[in-house]
Amino acid sequence: MKKYETKVQELDVHRKEIIQMVKNGSSQKEIAEKYETWPSTVRYWFRKRGIKPEVLRGNQKSTGRKGSSCIYRQLNPNLGNCDYICKTGHSRGCSAIDCDKYVKGKPIAGMKEEATDCDIFDE
């Protein structure tokens, strides 16, 4: 058996096999046991190679949350995710809690009216 300088290099040699194991549902612990390394080494290898196991398996979305960098995001965590209505003065047809319309950037300043005008809990 060939000796590698690091376990990460050994994982590089078996890349296709590891990706197939992930697609078949193997955990990082199982992969680590097969290649006699630590699960943290496997996690490091995934991260450095841009491999997202949850995406390869196809049963979950990527773990990144787009809403946290949307320009219309709500800065008050108790009011939902989206603050589009308060910042623009009109609705775009989505729920403030389950908003799926994303615009990347820094949050924009709200309208000049008082915050009470934008309270979503008032009827």
pLDDT, one tens digit per residue, over 48-96 is 888 888 877 775 544 445 556 677 777 766 666 677 777 777 777 766 6
Q: 6-61, pLDDT tens digit by residue?
A: 778 888 888 899 989 988 888 889 999 999 999 999 999 888 888 888 877 775 54
Judge whether 83 and 75 are in contact, CB under 8 Å: yes
Average pLDDT, the chain: 73
Side chain identity, residue 51: I
Q: What is the distance of C-alpha 5 from the center of its chain?
A: 33
Binning pLDDT at 50, 70 and 90, where does residue 107 land? Answer: low
The two three-digit tokens of residue 70, written as one number: 């949307």
What would the mean pLDDT of 113-122 be, rounded to a whole number? 50
Distances (CA, A) of 17 to 3, 10, 23, 102, 103: 18, 12, 10, 36, 38
Q: Determine the Cα angle at 81 with ends 108 and 97, to 5°.
A: 140
**pLDDT > 80? residue 103:** no
- pTM for this one? 0.45
CA distance 14 to 105: 39
State residue 58's pLDDT score. Answer: 72
CA–CA separation, 109 vs 112, rounded Å? 9
